[in-house]
Amino acid sequence: MHQLMGSSNLFSVLLFLVLLIGWIMIHRWGQRNSKGPKTWPIFGAAIEQLNNYHRMHDWILGYLSESKTITVPMPFTCYIYTADAANVEHILKNNFANYPKGELYKSCMDVLLGDGIFNADGELWRKQRKTASFEFASRNLRDLSTVVFREYSLKLSAILCQLSCIDHQTVDIQDLFMRMTLDSICMVGFGVEIGTLSSTLPDNSFARAFDTANMIVTLRFIDPLWRLKRFFSLGSEAILKQSIKTIDDFTYHVIRRRKEQITMVSQDSNFKDDQMHHDILSRFIKLGCEDHDRDFSTEKSLRDVVLNFVIAGRDTTATTLSWFIYMIITQPRVAEKLHTELKVFEETRSEEEDINLVSYALDDMQSFRSRLSQFAGLLDYDSLGRLHYLHASITETLRLYPAVPQDPKGVLEDDVLPDGTRVKSGGMVTYVPYSMGRTEYNWGHDASVFRPERWLKDDLIFQNSASPFKFTAFQAGPRMCLGKDSAYLQLKMTLSILCRFFHFTLAPDHPPVQYKMMTILSMIHGLNVLVSPREP
């Protein structure tokens, strides 16, 4: 009897295995003509996606180079990735209301971004956008930004001058850029000086915690166990919890400090309103206090405002600066053309301003710094607009290395994209700027080549004739980036000085320059460079 039962059990196990293998083979056979990644029953494409997580953007690019839109099934949902400009226009503009951030995105990002403008939908998003739009259109903010960006560019230059005097001294310039942009966004956006770019380069625990949190919330999109790990405070979720505490401590300090400044100012009878910095945080504080707006009356709501503008003003700009420097290191032809444009600009502007240029030699650091400071004084919003090759080079950097490499959207109702792809309610559609900038069907046979000249008319004048739904570095449609002009202002202010006065080389034995997986396309190993002053 026992022998018969054992044989029966063995037969059942063998039958189950045969059926399972048959199921898997039929499933895999059915995908022989699939344009996306191959999947497994139950697990979908999760195994292949996890194996390629460290190079996710290039993994997706491999598929999107062959097909403009792909479907990636996952255990509990289905992701659709597209690099088709017509699809992007449909998502970001023509059927905008059907593609909000969505519950999946918001649930993953809520711990970091809360109800801030990047994570909000509906009326709350519109209210924040309206307030921020008013500020970004203000000449007061533009003038303040110009002064602040120049000041911090000079602080950065002073540090580079010190380093250039030390033989074989390398520096992680991505870290310096992150410090510079954090200081400047806190000053322009929140009216607070935090001093991470001081000459001593103090420990920046907020920045480290912010980067760590950013990486972990990004991992949540393909980690089916993150909610369980959060509940038991295990692994990456335990680290995230501690990082958020560090972030919140810093952010609430900024808010309380700004509130104290506003209170002191309001009690000063000699104070005139036009002396007040019209920063973004103050505007939201005013909304919460004077207008009794429930959405911005708590420190938590203001905390969300601050962190969303930190990721907008710090991370995106610093990342673009880093990739730009890497580009001119690897493209010396571009570096020389930029230097020539800036020398001609300097001479022309000094003649217009009737300024005698300070002469300098590479062994005379004092005169070198004087000339650098004099050059910075020639830079303002209008004069920076003359630097067409610089503008084209920045734009080309953003085409190949967009600060936000992927932008996922939720789906409210079933829909059909212009290319015929069907999307289901509750799913997620992601347009992929990283892939869009590198596919030949969008940019031609030289799509992967860094060539600023593609943005110049007659090789002289910058001209962006590309659709915003093809060049998506600043989004498009109703969510078009409000800070685009401000970002270009800081990028051009900083890079004008650096490209005119410094030469950069990659540090010896530098590991391969690669991105790390987070919402922003920053470099996993930083960018360690040797810095030397340029010839006059």
How far apart CA 521 and CA 269 sit, in angstroms, is 47
Strand order in the sheet with 69-73: 69-73, 78-82, 428-431, 407-410
Q: Do residues 221 and 103 lie in contact, with contact meaning Cβ atoms separated by under 8 Å?
A: no
Please report the pLDDT score of residue 42 as a whole number.
57
Please report the pLDDT score of residue 57 as a whole number.
96
Q: Do residues 432 and 82 lie in contact, with contact meaning Cβ atoms separated by under 8 Å?
A: yes
Q: Which residues, in sequence order, are CB contacts of 454 under 8 Å at separation 6+? A: 392, 396, 443, 446
Give alpha helix (H) positions in 412-533: 433-436, 440-443, 484-501
Please report the pLDDT score of residue 231 as a whole number.
93
Q: Which residues are annotated as a binding site?
A: 481
454 burial (CB, 10 Å; 0-12 / 13-18 / 19+) is middle
Q: Which residues are annotated as a binding site for heme?
A: 481
Please report the pLDDT score of residue 276 as a whole number.
53
Neighbours of 196 (CB within 10 A): 19
Structure tokens at 405: 């490499």
Please report the pLDDT score of residue 389 as a whole number.
98
- Residue whose structure tokens are 């001294």: 169
Please report the pLDDT score of residue 273 as a whole number.
47
Please report the pLDDT score of residue 49 as a whole number.
79
Please report the pLDDT score of residue 26 as a whole number.
53
Structure tokens at 122: 């509906």
How far apart CA 202 and CA 7 sit, in angstroms, is 72
Domains of the chain (ranges plus CATH)? 32-533 (1.10.630.10)
Classify 78 as helix, strand or coil. strand
Q: Which residues, in sequence order, are CB contacts of 253 under 8 Å at separation 6+? A: none
For the chain (length 536 residues), average pLDDT per consecutive 10? 57 63 53 63 71 92 95 79 98 96 90 92 89 83 92 97 88 96 91 87 88 91 90 95 96 89 74 57 80 73 90 93 98 97 95 88 88 96 96 98 96 96 93 98 97 94 94 95 95 98 96 94 96 90
The values of phi and psi at residue 370, to 5°, are -65, -45
Please report the pLDDT score of residue 223 as a whole number.
86
Q: What is the DSSP letter of 464?
A: -
Please report the pLDDT score of residue 395 as a whole number.
98
Q: Which residues, in sequence order, are CB contacts of 455 under 8 Å at separation 6+? A: 391, 392, 395, 396, 462, 463, 464
Cα Dmax for the chain: 109
CA angle, corner 437, sides to 432 and 443, nearest 5? 130
DSSP states of 169-230 as a string? -EEEHHHHHHHHHHHHHHHHHHS----TTSTT----HHHHHHHHHHHHHHHGGG-TTHHHHH
Q: What is the value of pTM for the model shown?
A: 0.89
